[in-house]
Structure 1
Amino acid sequence: MLTSWDGILPIEGAVIVVEDDDTLRSVMTEILTDMGARCIAFVTADDALMHMLSATDTNALVVADHGVPGQIKGAEFLSMVAQRWPGLPSILTSGYELGAYVVPEGTVYLQKPWSIDVLVIAIAELLQPGLPVRRS
Structure 2
Amino acid sequence: MTSSTALPYAVVIEDNSLLAELLGNHLEEQLQWACTRFDNADDALVHLLQCQEAPALVVTDHLMPGQLRGGELAQMLLQRWPELPMVITSGYGYEITTTLPPQVIFLQKPWTLDEVDSAVRLARARQAGD
How far is 1:127 from its partner?
2.4
Q: Which residue of 1 aligns with 2:24?
A: 29
Higher relative contact order (CA 8 A, sep 6+): 1
Q: Which runs of 5+ in 1 are unaligned?
A: 1-11, 130-136
Contact 2:104 2:123 in 1 (8 A): no
* 2: CA distance, partners of 1:96 / 1:102: 14
CA apart distance, 1:103: 2.3
Between the two proteins, the alignment pairs up a number of residues equal to 118
Distance in 2 between residues matched to 1:115 and 1:103, nearest whole Å: 22
Question: Displaced runs of 4+ in structure 1, greater than 4 A?
Answer: none
CA distance in 1, matches of 2:98, 2:119: 20
CA contact (8 A) 2:105 2:122 kept: no
CA deviation digits over 1:52-78, x for unaligned, max 9? Answer: 111234410111100111010111001
Mapping 1:35-46, distance limit 5 Å: 35=30, 36-46=32-42
Once superposed, what is the RMSD of the aligned Cα atoms? Answer: 1.5
Q: Identity rate of aligned residues, in percent?
A: 37
Scaled by the length of structure 1, what TM-score is found? 0.81
Unaligned runs of 5+ in 2: 1-6
